Amino acid sequence: MQPSNRRNPVLLSLALLLLAGLWLGDFASLAANRIVPGQGHGLSDALGLPWALSLSAALLALAALAWRAEPHHLRLAQGLLALLLAQLPLALAWFAARHLDPALPQARIAPGFGVWSQLFVYGLMLIELRQRLGGRLWLIGPLLLLLLSAALIASGAWDSLALMREYAGRSRQFWQALGGHLALVGGTLALSLGLGFALALTIGRWPRTQAALYGLLNLLQTIPSLALFGLLIPVLSYLATQSAALQALGVRGIGWAPALLALVAYSLLPVVRNTQVALQQVNAAVLEAARGMGMSRYQLFTRVRLPLALPVILEGVRITSIQAIGLAAVAALVGAQGFGTFIFQGLGQGAMDLVLLGALPTIALALLADALFGALAHVLTRRRQA
């Protein structure tokens, strides 16, 4: 075999690009308070020469391992990557300790290009190594990152981080926003699952309804979310003035009602389509056998059709939940509770750190939902082939 065949161009170019980026861009910035723009610090300035050189050496070593990407080299690279991920939260704390002036209690640091690009590139490297090596060891790096971050937050070493400063001023609103966000997403999932399941069964029972139903759901899907929120405001305001019962429920033109309705409208298509396709694609021979053995319709559905369809249905729930988590943030515009509130407040005040306080948890929630439903489907499909 030619040595060049063993090269891993992905890892190699990622390591070298990151190295160049780290030395050219700012690692992090420091601002005296929330209003003034931050002062950028390059890599060696921010962390000191020893840290900067060790980091560079580690990246060069990674590139060297990728140059001759034998399996044992890749395993070494995976170990090195875990260390790189672990040093990132420590580097931020180290930067704060080196540069923060105790005379300025309002001073705050913000991660710069150097931090974000490391996070992004390490993520790509993880995916690449996970594909080449398989196994579970790839989890060590991200877990170290999370544990160290949690420890640094708890110890107060990250208190000067802009994000933490924004959180410190709004910790009560933050948890309220989390609750509101989850309630909106949970409500959306529950409603769209119930309704979507009923619609999928309707299509299965009366195939003629399929064209009309999908036409309607597709139409809903094409309406831009902001337009749909806007359309719902006057409709719900009018309904609320007409019905005391709705008023008692708290239905108004703005607030949770239009947000929930719009989110459910968008969620229906993936739920209905996945559920219907999943129930329909169950092997005909299996159903024939089940019927011929003497299963009742109900037994056939609950013991055969539904369990075999479940992984694909869960895939629909996964897509729906991720989509709903994102849209729930936008729903802050019509007054719904959630992380979107921070995003739009931050945009209004020109405070990017506040925007991040809304955006980062939203992303984290979406990733969490993805992992959760992915794992659930994995457990269910491990022993199944439809």
Q: How far is the CB of 370 from other proteins (least distance, A)?
A: 24
Q: Judged by CB under 8 A, how many residues of this single chain contact other proteins?
A: 21
**Which one, 70 or 288, has the nearer CB to other proteins?**
288
Residues written for the chain: 386
**Judged by CB under 8 A, which stretch of 80-88, 233-241, 301-309, 318-326 contacts other proteins?**
301-309
Binding region for other proteins (CB under 8 A) out of 119-127, 188-196, 284-292, 345-353: 284-292
The set of residues, in sequence order, having a beta carbon less than 8 Å from that of 8 and lying 6+ positions away, is: 66, 69, 74, 128, 132
**Interacting positions 190-229 with other proteins (CB under 8 A):** none
| DSSP β-bridge partners for residue 30 | 39, 109
CA proximity to 10, closest of 74, 84, 79: 74
Span interacting with other proteins, options 47-55, 83-91, 187-195, 303-311, rule CB under 8 A: 303-311
Examine residue 1 and tell whether it contacts other proteins (CB under 8 A): no
User: Does 299 sit near other proteins (CB under 8 A)?
Assistant: yes
- In the structure encoding, which two tokens stand for residue 239, read together? 């309904």
> Of these, 127, 249, 289, 371, which contacts other proteins (CB under 8 A)?
289
Per-residue binding letters, 226-265, with other proteins (x by CB under 8 A): ----------------------------------------
Q: Which position among 39, 218, 296, 302 is part of the footprint of other proteins (CB under 8 A)?
A: 296
Cβ neighbours of residue 276 under 8 Å, at least 6 residues apart?
200, 203, 204
CA distance 196 to 379: 24
Q: Which two tokens stand for residue 185?
A: 């997403």
Q: Is 298 in the site for other proteins (CB under 8 A)?
A: no
98 binds other proteins (CB under 8 A): no
**Cα-based angle 30, 36, 41 (whole degrees, multiple of 5):** 25
**62, 66, 68, 71: CA torsion to nearest 10:** 100
Q: Does 293 bind other proteins (CB under 8 A)?
A: yes
Copy the structure tokens of residue 29: 């910035």
- Region near other proteins per CB under 8 A, out of 57-65, 200-208, 270-278, 293-301: 293-301
Q: What is the dihedral of CA 335, 337, 340, 341, to 10 degrees?
A: 70
CB of 381 to other proteins, least distance (A): 10
Only one residue has tokens 């980091």, namely: 55
Complex with other proteins: residue 98 or 303, whichever CB lies closer: 303
Nearest in space to 325 (alpha carbons), one of 267, 275, 376: 267
In this structure, the strands spanning 26-31 and 39-42 are antiparallel
Least separation, in Å, of the C-beta of 126 and other proteins?
A: 31
Contacting positions for other proteins (CB under 8 A): 283, 285-296, 299, 304, 307-308, 383-386
